[in-house]
Amino acid sequence: MQDGNLNQYIPSSSSTSKALPCGHRLCDLEPSCESPEETCTYNARYLSENTSSSGILVEDILHLSSSNSDGSTSSIRKRAIIGCGQKQSGDYLDGAAPDGLMGLGFGEKSLPSLLAKEKLVRNSFSMCFGDDLTGSILFGDQGLAGQQSTPFLPSDGNGNYDTYIIGVDVSCIGNSCFKETSFEAQVDSGTSFTFLPNAAYESIVQEFDKLVEEKRSSYEGSPWEYCYESSSDGSPKIPSMKFKFTSNSSFVVHNPLYLIYDESSQFRVLIGFCLAIQPMDGDVGIIGQNFMTGYRIVFDRENLRLGWSRSNCHDISDNKTMPLAPSANSKTAPPNPLPTSGQQNVPPKRPDVAPAVAGKTPAKSSADSNRSVAFLWMLFVLLSLHTYATAA
């Protein structure tokens, strides 16, 4: 699937589209369907209250460009299962909602699973989230030889892996590290921002607040507790943030902030920022897209490891892979960004997925009700990413 001008996907307009029937072995709803000929449906639940996306599962042909070991490229046509949204609720009623969902998890109907099962690629993929809102996804990619990595943890006591869970041993803010901040986290490319268990959250945000020199503030509509006024148009000066994992590797967070602009004048002026982390109950947090920014994140399902290396996401290539040539508009963020993925089935003791928030109405600063503040939500659209595959 190459990057270019994208049109809305309408299953009924596709000559190769087929609704997935309830009788299909990959339909999880088969026991509750009245007839095996019924269309299989999905329902993705999110962290925000009463927020969900539901629709039907559709099977159609996905076009991928494959980079071979000899440097040549070839086209791959693969039938894939996607979710086409029909009904949205909660936060999605206030703005843009997901048109559809594509599975990237361990499940049988996820695209990485389907590609690997047919020996088209290795059982791994990477996603890259650029600082300029561009991105890429590479199926079959196992990352660079020098990348850092940490093992995935089983999702339950039986040693099963059904979601991407890692262990965080220590969290560091500036020169201070807190051993009591040990927790597990789900690495979720379909979540815009990051959620941490309450104990880890309190240690991190309180130390962050002590080291930030800017004045505390609050902004109407912001879901974050720790927000500040900005004293200049330049990038806010904040303490460094780092996670140390069970593998003794370190993950530096390059983009923990959400920037707030005054757009009432001719030019966008930075007036504030928030630490884009929220607390959550339970002992499993969520590492969202904002913490992944600036990294090539590798989900190596074959070796059950998460890998990462710094990247600008414009040239994700080494001796074995070659990205598609970007289009002239590839550096421009889409005007109506949408969530990239969601979970249909939430495993026991694991959190629902938080929605990527889109299309919110402008909020106002409590410090100056006359200034209109536009929130630039950090979102990525899966179908607008450069997508390609490396041969197995």
Q: CA-CA distances (angstroms) from residue 32 to 18, 36, 43, 178, 346? A: 21, 10, 14, 48, 18
96 falls in which pLDDT band (50, 70, 90)? low
The helix/strand/coil state of 259 is: strand
Asked whether residue 51 falls in the same domain as residue 199, the answer is no
Asked whether residue 257 falls in the same domain as residue 316, the answer is yes
Asked whether residue 144 falls in the same domain as residue 276, the answer is yes
d(CA 372, CA 261): 8
Asked whether residue 130 falls in the same domain as residue 80, the answer is no
pLDDT of residue 221: 84
Determine, yes or no, domain membership for 134. yes
Across 21-46, average pLDDT:
84
β-bridge pairing 305-310 and 135-139: unpaired
pLDDT value at 1 more than 50:
no
d(CA 120, CA 116): 6
Which residues form the domain of 15? 11-101
Which structure tokens are listed for 228? 């500040």
Least confident span in 60-74, 203-217, 230-244, 364-378: 364-378
Q: Tens of pLDDT along 343-364? A: 333 333 344 444 443 323 233 3
pLDDT of residue 262: 84
CB distance 297 to 187 below 8 Å: yes
How many residues are given for the chain?
392
d(CA 186, CA 78): 29
Asked whether residue 216 falls in the same domain as residue 280, the answer is yes
CB distance 56 to 39 below 8 Å: yes
Q: Tens of pLDDT along 204-225? A: 999 999 999 999 999 988 999 9
Give the global pTM.
0.78
Q: Tens of pLDDT along 114-147? A: 999 999 889 999 999 888 878 889 999 999 999 9
| Residue type for position 30 | E
Determine, yes or no, domain membership for 339. no
d(CA 156, CA 184): 12
Asked whether residue 95 falls in the same domain as residue 129, the answer is no
Percent of the chain predicted with pLDDT > 90:
43
DSSP state of 107: S
